[in-house]
Amino acid sequence: MEHFPALASHVRGELSKVIVGQHEVIDQLLVLLACNGHAVIEGVPGLAKTLMVKSLARVCGLNYHRVQCTPDLMPADVTGTNVFNLQDSSFHLHRGPVFTDLLLVDEINRTPPRTQSALLEAMEERQVTIDGIRYPLPENFTLLATQNPIEFEGTYPLPEAQLDRFLLKIKISYPSAEAEAEILSRYELGFDPRRLDAIALTPLDVGLLAAARGEIERVKVEPSLFPYMVAVVRRTRDWPAISVGASPRAAVGLLFVARALAAMDGREYLLPDDVKAAAGPVLRHRILLKPEAELEGLTTDQVIEQVLATVEVPRVMQTVEH
């Protein structure tokens, strides 16, 4: 296992030229790319969500588009539409921003359900259908949708069916005092996020991302860990504080993300700690707390920790070949 650790080390180093701190968030984005999934990014304004995704796309050599969601955004504004060409009297497809590698859908809960649903086919089948014709999306298509957790006026909450299609929910918190002081220092020295091209970011070697994905597939999972992951997911379905538990798709996501964490750590085998580390980002958007639990101040992350504490952890014996 050398490609994924090398990829992670390179991306962390390059993004540190632009982003101060947020190491856990960057690692989760790396796992997302390696698993070829989609994510909801939740954080208050001003935490460099857009800058982080733009920088990640540049370092990884991926095409990048951004959609600013508004209440009047139509599905065709995202997927594209056929335009009549007067010169040859035929229709030609005008491709929308969805035809890219990395698509940032900013404030997705500000767009109406009709437009939100247009993203379902792209997320699940990696294709879009326009006028009855299916168009495949790029192999690396990844959707990153941001949400503002503090504003609810004029928003359309994402339905459970769509939330379940996101592999991860990534939470971005405020930086530490030291990190925030470093941010001010960089601006004093002339840093300008609007001039990202002026920052010397070294791109990944060609093929490194594909090689990292291949390493994830080689991570060995002991049979005893499958019942453990299933038990964690099923426990959310009868937990007293949870009204809606995680789906079977959540168990599959838990497996994929745990394997990616193991590969990023340079291991060819899975540990229960990988499952525990993956549980928060994979499950937090797939469970719905009861109103009384929310009144008590419980958060989904706290409930997930409680669930993990009640599931017996299997003993995993690994043979390391020298």
pLDDT digits (tens, 9 = 90+) for 165-212: 899 999 998 989 999 999 999 899 888 888 888 788 888 888 888 999
At 321, the pLDDT band (50, 70, 90 cuts) reads: very low
What pLDDT score was predicted for residue 151? 63
* Per-residue pLDDT at 322: 33
The domains of the chain, with CATH numbers, are 3-189 (3.40.50.300), 219-310 (1.10.8.80)
The predicted structure's pLDDT at residue 154 = 62
The confidence score (pLDDT) of residue 15 equals 92
Residue pLDDT, tens place only, 116-173: 888 888 888 888 888 888 999 998 999 999 887 776 666 777 877 788 889 999 999 8
Average pLDDT over residues 293-308: 92
HEC string of the chain equals CCHHHHHHHHHHHHHCCCCCCCHHHHHHHHHHHHHCCCEEEECCCCCCHHHHHHHHHHHHCCCEEEEECCCCCCHHHHHEEEEEECCCCEEEEEECCCCCCEEEEECHHHCCHHHHHHHHHHHHHCEEEECCEEEECCCCCEEEEEECCCCCCCCCCCCHHHHCCCCEEEECCCCCHHHHHHHHHHHHCCCCHHHHHHCCCCCCCCCHHHHHHHHHHCCECCCCHHHHHHHHHHHCCCCCCEEECCCHHHHHHHHHHHHHHHHHCCCCECCHHHHHHHHHHHHCCCCEECHHHHHCCCCHHHHHHHHHHHCCCCCCCCCCCC
pLDDT digits (tens, 9 = 90+) for 90-112: 888 889 999 999 999 998 888 88
Query: What is the rounded average pLDDT of the residues 280-300?
Result: 92
